[in-house]
Structure 1
């Protein structure tokens, strides 16, 4: 039974009763009907839609960009662990925000780490390339390729004896799904299935930890969000694909004996972060004297997020890897029941976005030009709030960084990183 008493799930400033004015109150039967219809639409879209449009100016790696003796040596060297107690991990999305930090943390403690990333252009590829250089200096090689490339994945498993897979590759962002829905199905559903197909056929099978999202809670009105709560009310296509991923993971665990752990991230922020996130774009625009848009509810209520600092999330990821049990299948055949888990990785302390801007004003020493608008119907939700009791109990997960302390570290990185970029350009 879950020991809720270990840690208070709601130590933050905002109390659940203050959220109630912002919560959609729909009849349970209607929600179930609409969510079922929505998920059915996703499946129909997946099977009958034309191939996904590529991301803007996406650079698709050529087939001959991997393979050969030299390439295999680089893969083997990167995946070689330096600690006798270490593990060997394939990190997908390694040039991404969380993937970069997790890869560095694993390498620092002596694990073997190999990255995989397709360097798509959803946001600035230069930032991804800078992360790649950071990882290269630490001894982590990133293979440039796509998780939908079965031949590449099988080759990687032939070359390196992966004990674990940290699956962080995904098409991120709630609002972009309205522009390019096919990219979400391609990456978050088809790509995940392809990876699991290769993993279930591997011998031995690796244990898998993958990134889900707090967005799966959708229109759920119960706070804080618990892993036991319903997640059949997605508010966005992104959320629906992440929820579909959880269902797919459960099926592969049940059928093939794969050990699988899902992590629901809550608004991760920090140095080397994603430019499409509010804290990042606010910082950029405030420094340029540009106006920023701060959303609120139709009744004037605050939009709030459970901002979680990257170092805390990394500890949760490593905790999940370290406590993952071995898969029970072999060569695609199940030999016994396998571990299946879902955890929230949040900060338990929701903060209004308006307060986020207040903190940035203080740290950047500039006054924000705020334009307050009612949140559009684009799939975003009014608030997120994590109950982390289960992760604390099983993973020893305990976030320690408050928003101001985390933003201070981010701002320092931002000013250093982009001042260096400017000097190089000059």
Structure 2
């Protein structure tokens, strides 16, 4: 189940980047579950990773390898990604397996082991089937292609119902700069850094330091503003590659133009995760305005987005506006003046002056709640800061998907 129709875009070639996908039979025979991404020499690479204390073995290895390469002024040369098994909660064995996958790919391609970054997604606590994974690496390398985005987008999915991709182009100094990316995620989504997995690339030439800043800021406005179920994964990672084959992005004006386009790609990928949230039937935008700080606005937005009572009312198309009011009221904000809070459901005023708006009718509220795309606007009357969060409803299917996840 997913909200709205989604057509995977025609993905462009990012000069210098190649993607190869194959089936290793990690969880299900015959399905695409192993992806290799080749990064050209001279590229820049930035990454963000989960803040979960039980971060998966591949996250630990990827962070270590990325730091080692950056210290040498070099970028990673390969990403190796598997689905069907998270290699999380696997202790020393998991670290050895993640490192072994890097070492074997390095041997096959003639690079150093630390030039390979591993990524995994799937069931937590199970050891990787290393014989199958390592045995399929040559097939993934044989499949490497500049046009490999479509297969890779399918090869990183778990409970997702559809692949997710986004792309933008801008012009810098008369030359075209392209940005393209894929993401996966459907459940265990409140990233707290990025998304379940995201891989974005551009042909622009951008320094590693600037790339890191652009990614961190962009993630803060996109993947860190989504939630399906308030669970932060052990495996979250989002990578940004600049191959350097296109024009150099240096001036303030060019960097701003690139930032806007990158943010659009990241937001589209993040929103696609919510539209494909496990069991989702609604796509909900929560706008919080007139806060004293962005952090305060996010706290209010996420309190509402995480409320099971709000989420089940959304699923039922039940205009039980009191659940929204109650969630706003319990947000971790000091000295609320409820008389100044205004809450709108779409174009329908729900709350003002401390209670139900005078012109509110159940019919009008129910009409908005029955839509697939719903906007809740909350004005706190405290300041000028704002934030937007995207979430989904909570359905019977969400429970069924996760109750049957390992079967």
State the TM bucket, normalised to the shorter chain. Answer: under 0.3
How high is the TM-score relative to the length of structure 2? Answer: 0.26
Q: Which has the higher strand share?
A: 2
TM-score by length of structure 1 reads 0.25
Task: Compare the two structures and name the one with the higher helix fraction.
Answer: 1
